[in-house]
Chain A
Amino acid sequence: MVAKDAGLLQGTVELLVLKRLSWGPMHGYGIAAWIETATDDVLRVEEGSLYPALYRMTRKGWIKGEWGVSENNRRAKFYRLTRAGRRQLAEQASGWERLSGAVNRAVTAIDLPEEAG
């Protein structure tokens, strides 16, 4: 599935990036690869759009990019979570849980609630 709604996608991508980086610094490819596996390739991000998102998050001060050496011994830009990023993750994650829980409940509801009738 390819998400079409840009707004929804962007918010989702940001949350996923924050989540991945909460375990430690990672370069862009590593983040993309993780999103792919972690979402079972369902949320198949057009990988190119990941980078503008990374740069926007850098600008917001949630993450910070630094050049380092990758596991394959190549120069790569590693992103790590800043303190502001960590706060953001906590907020977004709980927001997401509430939202997805609510949507989930709504979508999987069997009976029409009485009040709505």
Chain B
Amino acid sequence: MRRWRRIFRRDPADDVDEELRHHVDERVRDYIARGMDPESAHRAAHERLGDLVRVRAECTTLLAREHRARDRHVVLNLSWLDVKLGLRMLHKYPGLSLVSVIGMALAIAIGAGSFAFIHGMLDPTLPLEDGDRIVSIQNDRVDRAGVTDRHALHDFVLWRDGLKSVRDLGAYRGDSRTLVKQNGTAHLVAVAEITASAFRVARVAPVEGRTLIDADERAGAPDVVVIAYEEWQRRFGGDPDIVGQSVRLGGTPRTVVGVMPEGFRFPVNHRYWIPLRMNPLDYPVGGGPWINVFGRLAEGYTMRNAQAELTAFGDRMAAAYPDTHGHLRPRVLPYALPFTDADSPEAQWLLRLLQLGISLLLVVVAVNVAVLIYARTTTRADEIAVRTALGASRRRIVAQLFVEALVLSTVAAVLGLAIAGVVLGQIEILMRRMSATLPFWMDLELSAGVVLYAAGLAILGGTIAGVLPALKATGRHVQAGLQQLSSRATQMQLGRSWTVMIVAQVAVAVAVLPAAIFYSSEMVRWGTRDPGYAADEFIRAWLSMEREESPPPAEAEAYERAFEARFAARSEELLRRLQSEPGVDATFAAAYPGNESTIRIEVEGAEPAGIRTAHVNHVGTNLFDMFDVPILAGRGFVDPAADASSVIVDRTFAESIAGGTNVVGRRIRHAPTNDDAPAPWFEIVGVVPDFPASAGPQIIAEDGRDSCITSCLRGTIHHVLQPGPAARIIVRTRRAPAAAFVGTLRDITASVDPALQLHEMYTVAESRRLTQRSLRLTALGIVLVTGSVLLLSIAGIYAMLAFTVARRRREIGIRSALGAEPRRILRAIFARAGAQLGTGIAIGLFIAIAAEWGSGGWVMGRHGHIILPIVASLIMTVGLLAALGPARRGLAIQPTEALREE
């Protein structure tokens, strides 16, 4: 810190001291000259000066004030001229500008984009009146860090009736219900079962009718619902008589009593609000359903007050109910944190660290740009020396170069924000299509905060890229530079650290680029791959059934059995109803084909050991028919009961155990774990082809969860699905595009039982499009980031060579004057560039091969042996091409000119 201050300016006290010392010394010298002895001369000089301590203090204060005033002046004086100069530089060195702007823009885009997410998670501002006074309350578990116990019904009642510091305490639980309108059409909607106090917390009035009121929560009160403005418009056509209408939500008919205004999504992203009716007496302490508790800080209370009061409540509960509450500590926290999993300090720190790490990318890029600018500055050494001679202080020149870099980074920030805006927009579209909605307080727009953050990054980038080279260029040589203007460049050095940086970047580019190429191409390829069946005839969805109410604990088991039986019966009925539709076929499965989970399988009598990993699925007997999958050997499933211990395997699995499809009759079982009893054996009764056609390795399975590279090649075993509550439903419409059947499917499901719900329903074609889109986006990101690393390293090589040629201009001139071939001189220079490129490439190759070998061959995929040499020679070629310009400049040096410049 001190050194930094010294670079710009000395400590005022040092200045004053030196001036006063000079005065005393001169005075002493004078007195001695007049014949005094040194000792009395000193004494007399000090006496003459007066109260040294007071003078020094007074002067130091005055000088410091003067410096501060000048600082303000300089800041204001970072004038237009500098900005104009910066813009001119941008234009004058298009190559450098392009490379620097692209590199910094990407880094800023990534930094700002991640900030939009992370800031939204950590410091959300609720778009509600006094939103920062709305809080969440939860019971943290002391025995397990970061875990919250939300069985808080009893606590909620206690808090609601007792807390002084938090008012209008409310609770909700989220659910989805099938909305059935009077005409029979059905939609699955997100519903909040919520206390009426929530509307007092939010302080938002309805646009039609009323909000929920406390009376709605009483047992036996009429069943009501409040709906969102958007739902009113979309589902009910903005019907002016909406209030008073009856709709079915799941099994219950409800009267619409109010419409909330546009954009209202409290508590998270809900559009339907029904009263939360729960009697704590129905549940034991520490039992009951999961709820979220929230409220408003009362007037005059702070978060800290509330926590103190809450802690007292917690201690009383812990004393009264040590079994259920001994390990719980109630905590009050900003409202939004529990909903984004950022409620524990650990999670918050991790997110902040992540943000810091992501932003560091900009520092790396900016240091690169700094080196490029430094190399450029060498060509402006004369300008700097002359300006210094004309009285510009070092600070002034550093300031000028800083503003120039700031112009560069500002352009980069604007571009980066544009990129971030486009990408965030894409992500939002994708999320909306996948019907995943963000909490109402998060928006992926370029908010003021994001822009501010990007501006901060731009200043950071500009500081690194401008001030570092400026300090180095205006260092101790400036005075000397005045004496030999033209050969000023010979004084500037590019240190060893730069060589290391270039070598490191080339190495990173070589090591990462092949994997990046592989992954992005694989993603794009996988996304556009032919699935091998008529994807546009398929619909997939999750089927679930609404639980009408939470039964008292005594009846829970019986209720659960009854519920499962009802769900199983309704599922069967739904299947029958669908199959009776003309041209429609439907089945249930544990997972959508191609999306199975993996399991360890033991093959009877196989050597060695016979344990391998395979994908496993439970499918309806008609699934193979539906996908037009032929039986290659043996038979298909006939009947769930008869085939209870049969499996059908695919070709890859068959080949992995027998080298062919001749496996019918062999037995397999799920590999026993240590403490379990051995699993039963299953007999292979049939072999099917691999389907859906998974041509080679895939990276991301359709729902984005399962990632497999090599394990995908291990094959799949299919069990028959036993009757029971179903999960995955697959529908094929052979006569018409599936998209036209989606609405009918919902309506049929609701007519079987309004409690049945279809979640995440897509036509397979649509889900493939969404997947392709996100894969393309990811691939683009990978290519851009890797590309910018490559770009920067190539630019670094170019700058280094240009710099070297400029620096050795005189030497080249003299040597060619003495008869040396310029080519020979240049060869020496390029040997160095070649050596750096070569070293970088060698290290990169080593890393890539080591990673490939260490990972068992999935870093670069099957084509690594082709991609890697191509990338290496590409980088070598581009690096040498970058050297071409400086080389031509070097060859064009005329000895007479180079010497005349001296």
Residue of A nearest to B54 (CB): A48
Provide the residues of chain B in CB contact with A98, threshold 8 Å: none
Which among A33, A49, A51, A56 is the interface contact of B19 at CB below 8 angstroms? A51
Provide the residues of chain A in CB contact with B20, threshold 8 Å: 51
A61 to chain B, nearest CB (A): 10
Residue of A nearest to B45 (CB): A47
A78 to chain B, nearest CB (A): 10
A53-66 interface mask toward B, CB cutoff 8 Å, 1 = contact, 0 = none? 00110110000000
CA distance in complex: A76, B29 (Å): 15
B316 at interface (Cβ–Cβ under 8 A)? no
B63 at interface (Cβ–Cβ under 8 A)? yes
Q: Is the CB–CB distance between B26 and A72 below 8 Å? A: yes
The answer to whether A46 and B23 touch (CB under 8 A), given A33-B30, A58-B66, A59-B65, is no
Residue of B nearest to A71 (CB): B26
* Residues of B1-52 contacting chain A, CB below 8 A: 15-16, 18-20, 22-23, 25-27, 29-30, 48-52
Q: Is the CB–CB distance between B62 and A59 below 8 Å? A: yes
Q: Is the CB–CB distance between B19 and A28 below 8 Å? A: yes
Q: Is the CB–CB distance between A48 and B52 below 8 Å? A: yes
Residue of A nearest to B24 (CB): A29
Q: Is the CB–CB distance between A74 and B22 below 8 Å? A: yes
Which among A29, A47, A52, A76 is the interface contact of B58 at CB below 8 angstroms? A52
Q: Is the CB–CB distance between B62 and A70 below 8 Å? A: no
Query: Considering residues B22, B30, B58, which has the most beta carbons from chain A within 10 angstroms of its beta carbon?
Result: B22
Which among A48, A52, A76 is the interface contact of B49 at CB below 8 angstroms? A48
The answer to whether A48 and B51 touch (CB under 8 A), given A74-B25, A76-B22, A77-B19, is yes
Provide the residues of chain A in CB contact with B69, threshold 8 Å: 59
A75 at interface (Cβ–Cβ under 8 A)? yes
CA distance in complex: A75, B25 (Å): 12
Q: Is the CB–CB distance between A32 and B23 below 8 Å? A: yes
Q: Is the CB–CB distance between A55 and B22 below 8 Å? A: no
Which among A27, A52, A75, A77 is the interface contact of B55 at CB below 8 angstroms? A52
B59 at interface (Cβ–Cβ under 8 A)? yes
CA distance in complex: A56, B58 (Å): 10
Provide the residues of chain A in CB contact with B19, threshold 8 Å: 27-28, 51, 76-77
B888 to chain A, nearest CB (A): 46
Q: Is the CB–CB distance between B22 and A27 below 8 Å? A: yes
A4-44 interface mask toward B, CB cutoff 8 Å, 1 = contact, 0 = none? 00000000000000000000000111001100000000000
Which among B15, B23, B26, B62 is the interface contact of A52 at CB below 8 angstroms? B62
CA distance in complex: A107, B683 (Å): 133
Q: Is the CB–CB distance between A51 and B27 below 8 Å? A: no
Q: Is the CB–CB distance between B50 and A49 below 8 Å? A: yes
Provide the residues of chain A in CB contact with B26, threshold 8 Å: 29, 33, 70, 72
Q: Is the CB–CB distance between B22 and A52 below 8 Å? A: no
CA distance in complex: A46, B23 (Å): 13
Q: Is the CB–CB distance between B66 and A46 below 8 Å? A: no
B42 to chain A, nearest CB (A): 14
Provide the residues of chain B in CB contact with A33, threshold 8 Å: 26, 30
CA distance in complex: A11, B65 (Å): 22
B67 to chain A, nearest CB (A): 11
Provide the residues of chain A in CB contact with B58, threshold 8 Å: 51-52
CA distance in complex: A29, B22 (Å): 8
Provide the residues of chain B in CB contact with A56, threshold 8 Å: 62
Residue of B nearest to A32 (CB): B23
B534 to chain A, nearest CB (A): 85
A60 to chain B, nearest CB (A): 10
Residue of A nearest to B48 (CB): A47
CA distance in complex: A33, B22 (Å): 13
Residue of A nearest to B69 (CB): A59
Residue of A nearest to B16 (CB): A51
Q: Is the CB–CB distance between B55 and A51 below 8 Å? A: yes
Query: Considering residues B23, B52, B54, B58, which has the most beta carbons from chain A within 10 angstroms of its beta carbon?
Result: B23
Provide the residues of chain A in CB contact with B52, threshold 8 Å: 48
Residue of B nearest to A55 (CB): B62
Which among B22, B27, B49, B50 is the interface contact of A75 at CB below 8 angstroms? B22
Q: Is the CB–CB distance between A46 and B22 below 8 Å? A: no
CA distance in complex: A52, B52 (Å): 12
CA distance in complex: A77, B29 (Å): 18
Provide the residues of chain B in CB contact with A77, threshold 8 Å: 15, 18-19, 22
Provide the residues of chain A in CB contact with B23, threshold 8 Å: 28-29, 32, 47, 51
Provide the residues of chain A in CB contact with B51, threshold 8 Å: 48
Residue of A nearest to B393 (CB): A66
CA distance in complex: A14, B627 (Å): 101
CA distance in complex: A52, B764 (Å): 84
Q: Is the CB–CB distance between B59 and A51 below 8 Å? A: yes
CA distance in complex: A75, B18 (Å): 8
* Residues of B547-598 contacting chain A, CB below 8 A: none
Q: Is the CB–CB distance between B18 and A55 below 8 Å? A: no
A1 to chain B, nearest CB (A): 15
CA distance in complex: A56, B27 (Å): 23
B59 to chain A, nearest CB (A): 5
* Residues of A72-93 contacting chain B, CB below 8 A: 72, 74-77
Q: Is the CB–CB distance between B66 and A55 below 8 Å? A: yes
Which among B25, B50, B59 is the interface contact of A55 at CB below 8 angstroms? B59
Q: Is the CB–CB distance between B50 and A46 below 8 Å? A: yes
B617-646 interface mask toward A, CB cutoff 8 Å, 1 = contact, 0 = none? 000000000000000000000000000000
Provide the residues of chain A in CB contact with B18, threshold 8 Å: 75, 77
CA distance in complex: A40, B27 (Å): 17
Residue of A nearest to B12 (CB): A55
The answer to whether A70 and B63 touch (CB under 8 A), given A46-B50, A48-B51, A52-B58, is no
Provide the residues of chain A in CB contact with B25, threshold 8 Å: 74
Residue of A nearest to B65 (CB): A59
CA distance in complex: A95, B43 (Å): 38
Provide the residues of chain B in CB contact with A51, threshold 8 Å: 16, 19-20, 23, 55, 58-59
Provide the residues of chain B in CB contact with A28, threshold 8 Å: 19, 22-23
Provide the residues of chain A in CB contact with B62, threshold 8 Å: 52, 55-56, 59
Provide the residues of chain B in CB contact with A49, threshold 8 Å: 50, 55
Residue of A nearest to B60 (CB): A55
CA distance in complex: A58, B25 (Å): 23
CA distance in complex: A75, B21 (Å): 10
Query: Considering residues B26, B48, B50, B52, which has the most beta carbons from chain A within 10 angstroms of its beta carbon?
Result: B26
A67 to chain B, nearest CB (A): 8
B862 to chain A, nearest CB (A): 70
CA distance in complex: A72, B23 (Å): 12
Provide the residues of chain B in CB contact with A46, threshold 8 Å: 48-50
B479 to chain A, nearest CB (A): 13
Residue of B nearest to A52 (CB): B58
A102 to chain B, nearest CB (A): 32
Residue of B nearest to A44 (CB): B48
CA distance in complex: A25, B22 (Å): 16
CA distance in complex: A69, B54 (Å): 27
B49 to chain A, nearest CB (A): 5
CA distance in complex: A72, B28 (Å): 13
Residue of A nearest to B27 (CB): A29
Which among B15, B16, B50, B66 is the interface contact of A59 at CB below 8 angstroms? B66
B200 to chain A, nearest CB (A): 60
A10 to chain B, nearest CB (A): 13
Residue of A nearest to B58 (CB): A52
CA distance in complex: A77, B63 (Å): 13
A-B contact pairs, 18 of them (CB 8 A): A27-B19, A27-B22, A28-B22, A46-B49, A47-B23, A48-B49, A48-B51, A48-B54, A51-B16, A51-B19, A51-B20, A51-B58, A52-B55, A52-B59, A55-B63, A59-B69, A74-B22, A76-B22
Top 5 A-B pairs, shortest CB-CB distance: A48-B50, A55-B62, A48-B55, A46-B50, A29-B26
Can you name 17 extra interface pairs (CB under 8 A) apart from A49-B50, A59-B69, A77-B15?
A29-B22, A29-B23, A29-B26, A33-B30, A47-B23, A47-B49, A48-B50, A48-B54, A51-B19, A51-B20, A51-B23, A51-B58, A52-B55, A74-B22, A75-B18, A76-B19, A77-B19
User: Which residues in B have some Cβ–Cβ distance to A below 8 Å?
Assistant: 15-16, 18-20, 22-23, 25-27, 29-30, 48-52, 54-55, 58-59, 62-63, 65-66, 69
